[in-house]
Structure formats: C-alpha cells, structure tokens
Amino acid sequence: MGYTLVIDEGTTSTRAMIFNEKMQAVSVSQKRFEQYFPKPGWVEHDADEIYEKVLETICKAIHIAGIKSEEIDSIGITNQRETVVPFDRKTGMSKHRAIVWQCRRTAGMIEALKKEGIEKEIHKRTGLFLDPYFSGSKIRYLKENILQTKNNTYFGTIDAFLVYRLTGGKSFKTDPSNASRTLLFNINTMRYDPYLMDIFKVKEDELPEVVPSDSVFGKTKGVKCLPDGIPITGILGDQQAALLGQGGIAPGIAKNTYGTGSFLLINTGEKPEFFKKGILTTVGFQVGSIVHYAVEGSVFIVGALIDWLIQVGLLSGIEELNTILNERISTDVCFVPAFVGLGAPHWDPDARGAIFNLTRGTSRKDIVRAAMLSIPLQTEELLRIIKNRGISVSEMRVDGGVSNNDYIMQLQADISNLKILRQPFKEVTAKGAAFISALGTGKMSLSDIGKFVSFGKEFIPRMKDDERERLYRSYSNFVNKVKSREA
C-alpha cells in the first residue's frame, strides 16, 4: 500500500504531511505565509503565495520521508474554511487577495441584510447566522467593489482553489463541510440555494461543484514534485477534519480545537439540529450518500490572545505564561477578548475587547491570568447553551496549539466541569484529512477510524462549584457590557 499526502492549509501557515498505511505521520513540512491588514478589522492572504507554499512543503515532506513521489497514491486536503479566493478561470491566478474568515469589512452589509428581516429564513436554510465571518458577503463585496466588470472569475474557498491549481485547471470542486460555511448552501437539500445566491449576487457557475467529502475531486497535473494522475480523494474544512481526526464519527462526540480561535464541534448524527440563537448547524462530513451533521460554536480569539499579550509586552513568552498560570493567581480582573467582535453565541461584529475591575493594585500577572481564564470561559458559554438543548456532553476531546498547554486545559476542565482528553499526536486536523482520503480510496471504512485514535493525558475537574459559578457569572456580566447596542 502507498502513502497519503495531506495538505493542511491553515490561517497562518501551510503544512504538508505524509501518512503511511497505519495512519502514522512519516514526515511534515511547514511554511508560514504573509498576513495583510490593509485597514483595521480587514484581513487578507495572497492565494498565489499560499499555493507556492503548498508546493514547497510537498517537496520538502517527500524529501524528509525519504520516499519516491510515485509511492503517494492519494491526497487529502484540509483548509481554513470561509476564506474566499477570486481567481481567473483560465489561468487559476488570483484576481485579488483572498478575504480571510477573520475579516470584518462586510459588517455594514450584514447589518443592512439583518434589517431586511431575512436572517431567520437564511438560518433555516443554512444553519448559520448573518455575520461577516461567512463567505457569502465576502463574495458580494468582491463583485460589487473590486471585480465589477470581470465575468471570467471563479469564487472558491481555499480547498476549491487548491484543487483547481493542483489539477491544472481540470477540476473545480469542494465538499459539503466547506460549502456549508458559505451562506450559499442549503444543508437540507444539500445544494446551492437560488434564494441565497440572489441575496449575495453570485451565480452557480461561478462556484465550485459540491461533491461528497470522500469523492475523487480530480487528479494531479503539472504539479512540482508530484507525478500526474495522483487522485485527490478527500476534502474537509479544518474543524470538521479535526472532528474526524478525534474519532468523532458518532453522535454526542465533542471536540474543541484551540488555534487562532477555538472551535467546538459536536456530532449530532444524520439529522441537523437547529438552534434559534448562537450555535451554528453545519455539515460535519458526507461519506458516500450519508451526511453527518454537527453543531458548532466559534470563538474568534484564543491563540491570538497569547500573541497579543506578547506583542504588547505583558508577557515575555510561553515559558513565562506557564510560570504565571502555575502560581494560581486569584484575581477579580476580567478580560473579554473581543478584538474582532464576538463570535458564538453573540455574533456581534461591533463588540470590542475590554479589561474590567482594574485597580492600583492590579499587576501584569493579574491581566495575563484573566486573559487565559477567558479562553475556557468562552467555550463554557457555548457548552451551557448546547447542554440546555438536551445534547449530552460527557467529555471533550481537544487539539490545536493552545491545547498543548497543560495549565489552560486544566482551567478548561475546571470551568466546564468536564473531563478533557488530549491525543499524543498533535496534528489531529491533518489526521482527519488522511482519514477522509483513505475513505475515498477504499483503504478503510468509517468504522475503522477508531482503531487509529488514542488518547494520552486526561484533565479532571477540581475546581469547587461556587468558584466556577462566580467566575462564569462575572464573565457573562462583562460580556454584556462590551456588546454593541445593535447586537
């Protein structure tokens, strides 16, 4: 049996990993790419640069693995999701920088749509709420402000753009986990919805074809370091890939990925569960004709909060962070990190971050401790809404860079009164992409996935109930203070 190549294209870097038939990673290569911030709240990527980084990491991963490229028999892709790339149908070259999922430039457009009273209908069709986070308003912005006179443009999420480039322009496809994040895809009919496309001023022939997650999306053609003809046999959005990589193939399994933001997903089975407020309904993955749905809560600022603390000089680095957390500082300071608005369950793009309860006696360490407490408290907001709906969550499986910090994971266990399970293998998202690619080739079945998932360290709650409730009530109170009047 051959090897599986995984392309893991994230928000700040691109990885290529090679997995053997036992789903063990035999090599990894990673390259960071440029972040562009043309205006406050705007975030862009150069998609052509991203593709070049993909090629560089593929070549490096093959070299590190010490294998021949001909030994790779399938490719899986996992990607940052709602980011939109406008690119030329003939050349595949981007026509404008990609507008990233974090970008808030379409907040005004979203508010205008909300005032039209159509959000409930959109939610019923997509499982999403109106927010600049999702792809639809980004596409409409590009068409109305950048590409008004150009009709030879495709609009794709990163996965679809990569498929197009990797196949030499022969294939333009995406999977339902990505399509369900665009505000253009009806998760009940599993098709692009004419009503939604009309709202966001896009035509179906400008969008990628949607096929099951374990499909053959195309075959390589003219790709540096790879022979022609290697099939791309699996695609998943990064958070859904992490759910699969955590063995989330059955209803009730919860995972939380702590990266730039954090993303809580819970498998809800073959029927979508809709929430009236706050929590998203999304496609987890589609294997063959069977669609597996999930509910999701998205927190925008987690790992980015640590970066900010270092950037402004409140923290010297991760080593000092561990020292501060290990001191178990007790503080009344409360930190609400709404740097780019509030995600779930508030969906308030105009909210801004704030630090409360400062006194002359407040120290730098108090602020750092309060900032780190905001990470589990944001997740706890989501868990309480989901549990109140009757969805059982007995444990949470975690991954992502911040999950490697034992102190923060213990805080999560304490604040949420849940057992936290962490895999020893850290690249869970890439593993999920390897799984879906192996499903696409027929190397394995969905029921086989559990054989390749194991857990290492567990974090057991130890905080007293009254302290847990005090911290949560305080945080909830101050979140309401930073919310905009229109939210």
User: What pLDDT, in 10s, does the model give residues 55-89?
Assistant: 999 999 999 999 999 999 999 999 999 999 999 99
Please check whether residue 448 lies inside any domain of the structure.
no
Residue 112 lies in a domain: yes
Instruction: Judge if 230 and 313 occupy the same domain.
Output: no
Token readout for 446 is 């969905």
**Contact between residue 238 and residue 184 where contact means Cβ atoms under 8 Å apart:** no
Q: 125: Cβ–Cβ under 8 A, 6 or more apart, which residues?
A: 186, 187, 188, 193, 195, 196
Residue 390 has a pLDDT of: 84
- Number of structural domains the chain divides into: 2
Question: Could you tell me if residue 262 is inside a domain?
Answer: no
Query: pLDDT per residue over 270-325, tens digit each?
Result: 999 998 888 999 999 999 999 999 999 989 899 989 999 999 999 998 889 989 98
Q: Is residue 227 part of a domain?
A: yes
pLDDT of residue 484: 72
> Which pLDDT tens digits describe the chain residue by residue (487 residues)?
689 999 999 988 999 999 999 999 999 999 999 999 999 889 999 999 999 999 999 999 999 999 999 999 999 999 999 999 999 999 999 999 999 998 989 999 999 999 999 999 999 999 999 989 899 999 999 999 998 666 789 999 999 999 999 999 999 999 999 999 999 999 999 999 999 999 999 999 999 999 999 999 999 999 999 999 999 999 999 999 999 999 999 888 899 999 888 999 999 999 999 988 889 999 999 999 999 999 999 898 999 899 999 999 999 988 899 899 888 777 899 999 999 888 888 888 789 999 999 999 999 999 999 999 999 999 999 999 998 888 888 889 999 889 999 999 999 999 999 999 998 888 899 999 999 999 999 999 999 998 999 898 999 999 999 999 999 999 999 999 998 755 4
Residues 110 and 217 in one domain: yes
pTM value? 0.88
For 464, other C-beta atoms within 10 Å of its C-beta total: 10
The Cα 92–Cα 145 span in angstroms is 21
Q: What is the CATH number of the domain that holds 190?
A: 3.30.420.40
pLDDT of residue 65: 95
- Looking at the structure, tell me whether residues 35 and 110 fall in a common domain: yes
Do 204 and 319 lie in a common domain?
Answer: no
197 with 314, same domain: the answer is no
Rounded Cα distance between 131 and 347, Å, is 7
Q: Strands 419-422, 458-459: parallel, antiparallel or unpaired by DSSP?
A: antiparallel
Looking at the structure, do residues 193 and 81 belong to the same domain, yes or no?
Answer: yes
Q: Among the three residues 199, 225, 242, which one is the final residue of a domain in this structure?
A: 242
212 and 323 in a single domain? The answer is no
Residues 27 and 149 in one domain: yes
Do 231 and 339 reside in the same domain of the chain?
no
199, 223, 242 - which closes a domain: 242
* Helix ranges (DSSP H) in 312-418: 318-326, 364-388, 406-416
Q: For residue 382, which of 418, 328, 434, 421 has the smallest C-alpha distance?
A: 418
308 plus 211 within the same structural domain: no
Q: Is residue 443 part of a domain?
A: no
Identify whether residues 56 and 167 lie together within a single domain: yes
Same domain (yes/no): 166, 76: yes
Identify whether 231 is preceded by a cis peptide bond (ω within 30 of 0): no
Task: With beta carbons less than 8 A apart as the criterion, state whether 274 and 127 touch.
Answer: yes
Q: Is residue 282 situated within a structural domain?
A: no
- On whether residue 247 sits in a domain, the answer given is no
Domain boundary among 209, 242, 275: 242
In a domain, residue 267? The reply is: no
Show the domain range for 407: 299-422+458-482
